[in-house]
Structure 1
Amino acid sequence: MQPPQAGLHLMGWLPPHLDDQQITQKAASCGLEIIPLSALTLGSSQRGGLVLGYGAVNEQEILAGVRQLVSVFPS
């Protein structure tokens, strides 16, 4: 994760072998709304990432969301 300097979003880089579009689709099947960094990038990106919003959720919801997000990553 990259610590935000301001705002209501957090950006996390993925390992090069993971596709941010696939992770986002799997997360959506768990009810998580995540933006793949590739959707915000012009051209092709060498590394995927996830944009996570946290402004409209409380701490308990964030912890639950992180647990759900971890479950969509391959073992």
Structure 2
Amino acid sequence: LWRLPVIEGNSMTSGEWLVGAMYMAAKLYDRQENEILASTEHGTNFIQGMVTVKSTKSVALAVTRPASLVTGDFTF
């Protein structure tokens, strides 16, 4: 589509579209680095030889210029 990248996603229903200057419209803030914790002290993990793994990541998306995004549908 005019040499622009097309990205498919499940956040919109069939027949809807979103076009915009994404770099101008929004910014992604990385609020926390990846944190990965491993533990054998949960329940019977030590006895059974198992390890519990917990991973967290915190990000925020701020739409600073909503006028840079245009949505619509293909119904006439």
Shorter-normalised TM range: under 0.3
TM-score by length of 2: 0.23
Structure with a larger share of its residues in strand? 2
TM-score by length of 1: 0.23
Structure with a larger share of its residues in helix? 1
Rg comparison, structure with higher value: 2
